[in-house]
Amino acid sequence: MNDQQWSDLVAVINGEALPALPTGFIIDSPWLPNWAGCTILDYFTDERAFFGANLKAIRTFPNTMFMPGFWSEYGMCTEPSAFGAVSIWEEDQFPFAKKILRSPADVEFLEKPNPRKDGLLPFVVKRLKRLQPEIGKEGHKIRFAVARGPLNIASFLMGATEFLMAIKTDPEPMHRLLTITTDFLVDWIDYQRECFPSIDGILLLDDIVGFVSRRDFETFALPYLKKAFSADVTVKFFHNDAPCKVSAPYLPDIGINLLNFGIQHTLSEMKAWTANKVTLLGNIPPRDVLASGTPADVTRSVTEMLRGLEDRSRIIVSCGGGMPPAVPTENIQALISATEALTR
């Protein structure tokens, strides 16, 4: 993100009005590689392919925010790799990490990784350090420390079904597991901030919080998310495109001030549930409209969403979740243009 985009983002989070509603998107490996003309594996392994794809995005759409911006990642394998998970790679498929915990009892042997040395994390940092001068020449800075959230990492290490069952059957080992993943996240975020002093935001992604009850959220998510978001930064950005009704009222207390959520809820509902204390990034249907629709479909969806919204403060128009695969250039431009036309 460049300085103006960052300034606009902070202004919207603070409840200030801009000349038009801003637009923004989370972009990463599900969309960028194929859109830019390379394979997913090339994007992960070829530094120039990674940089070229991100550069193409910011030059093609200069009037929107891409967050976190030049996201150095290895898909869902990034954080699990630090715990020793085997990463499976194919030429043009999303990578995945094999689980390493066969039962709750295995948590006893789990150790907290060192983000400076373990797994793919040094590769994430090294890539950005090498590219930082070129990113700067384009007027952009590294603004966010980025990671999967504590429950998300736990679900990769155990399996999502197994983890969700174990919080009911074996709560103590699950608290130990979440303590380890959260303490690791604090270290990982701190290390990213140490490497890149321009970072003034955190982005954590954790859909698993959308699959637990209110009681389980309070017990197994709230304290760990609070600790994971404890760094002193201006923007605390959370992605959860699973159901958000249970977690939404707790987000301000956690410190979260920017949320990317899914299409299960409306902007108005989310405003009410968060007491309008959280800026909302959303929520045009990502697959059925932004990826599969026409530009006219996108314009119609944006129009319907904004006309049904009484309070337009703390809103960034986007899709409901990260940018999905196969979204064409003209549909992104249609969303940006429709938003500008309707809100100037």
CB 83 within 8 A of CB 113: yes
CA–CA dist 49, 42 (Å, integer) = 6
pTM: 0.97
309 exposed, middle or buried (CB, 10 Å; 0-12, 13-18, 19+)?
Answer: middle
pLDDT greater than 90 at residue 344 = no
Q: How many CB atoms lie within 10 A of CB 104?
A: 21
Residue appearing with tokens 């959860």: 240
Residue 184: φ, ψ to 5°: -60, -45
CA–CA dist 85, 97 (Å, integer) = 6
Amino acid 308: pLDDT? 81
**What would the mean pLDDT of 134-156 be, rounded to a whole number?**
98
DSSP 2: B
CB 339 within 8 A of CB 302: yes
Q: Spell out the residues 6+ positions from residue 190 whose beta carbon is closer than 8 angstroms to its own.
A: 231
pLDDT, tens digit (0-9, with 9 covering 90-100), for 60-106? 999 999 999 999 999 999 999 999 999 999 999 999 999 999 999 99
pLDDT, tens digit (0-9, with 9 covering 90-100), for 47-70? 999 999 999 999 999 999 999 999
The total domain count for the chain is 1
pLDDT grade, residue 245 (50/70/90)? very high
Residue 46: φ, ψ to 5°: -110, 110
> Coil, strand, or helix at residue 344?
coil
CATH code, domain carrying 271: 3.20.20.210
DSSP 286: I
For 267, the domain range is 3-343
